[in-house]
Structure 1
């Protein structure tokens, strides 16, 4: 974990992205109030957990992560349901975003449907990180 608090992290966000980051943080906290908020590896995270690969390698991650990049905002959703990454299943409902396996990227909050993001967060919070990175990774 980081010595920086979530509030300190948000204070460091570039002014251009700060309003969107604050709005996303509030939405995530309202939608998934049971997820602990932490700063981990330079990302504001929600729902920290430990994982272990079949090889024995272990690490820490968060169910949901939020980061302000130079050109976009990134919402990381480390959740898979029935072998499919959850973020990917929302691609058709978030046309203003670029969707990766577990990442939703967009240039501003105005470019995406907030209610769809809220649903994505709620679904992830309800399911947790099981199968988050495939069958060789287990939650501990």
Structure 2
């Protein structure tokens, strides 16, 4: 499956939101290549390696369209804290975890803040990325 096929497979009316989210991410982080990352869209592939020797491949940003909500994952940390967490108070329409911003519709989140979060992560890049735990 390609990224475009992923987008096309999302049922309406959610397809409009997932396409808008994809465009928002690509506009906010134009230098991050888009690719299929498991069952999500990934942006900015990178390879990680922990001191323990564990290593793998991940995406700096990922977008998942689940049945009831959208999730934007941001695998980037700053000063010992996941970047998404630092934006939580500015995204009251979303449920924000350590690296995940979850919401039911794009209209429920402040798109400008979401753009800022994504651009911030892209500017920091994989050198500040936190791979999967």
Q: What band does the TM-score fall into relative to the shorter chain?
A: over 0.9
Corresponding residue SS for 1:70: coil
Please state how far the C-alpha of 1:54 moved relative to its aligned partner: 1.4
Picking from 70, 76, 89, the partner of 2:67 is 70
Question: Is 1:24 aligned with 2:21?
Answer: yes
Counterpart-to-counterpart distance in 2, 1:108 and 1:90: 18
Counterpart-to-counterpart distance in 2, 1:118 and 1:77: 12
What is the CA RMSD across the aligned residues, in angstroms?
Answer: 1.4
Q: Where does structure 1 lack aligned partners over 5 or more consecutive residues?
A: none
Please state how far the C-alpha of 1:131 moved relative to its aligned partner: 4.3
Picking from 51, 54, 62, the partner of 1:54 is 51
TM-score (norm 2): 0.94
Higher mean C-alpha displacement, 43-52 vs 54-63: 54-63
Higher mean C-alpha displacement, 70-79 vs 13-22: 13-22
Aligned partner of 2:97 in structure 1 is: 100
Corresponding residue SS for 1:15: coil
Question: Is 1:126 aligned with 2:126?
Answer: no
Is contact 1:97–1:104 with CA below 8 Å preserved after alignment?
Answer: yes
Question: Is 1:42 aligned with 2:39?
Answer: yes
Count of matched residue pairs: 132
| Cα-to-partner distance string for 1:46-104 (whole Å, 9 max, x where unaligned) | 00001112121211100000010111000000001111100000111000000000000
Is contact 1:80–1:129 with CA below 8 Å preserved after alignment?
Answer: no
Please state how far the C-alpha of 1:129 moved relative to its aligned partner: 3.0
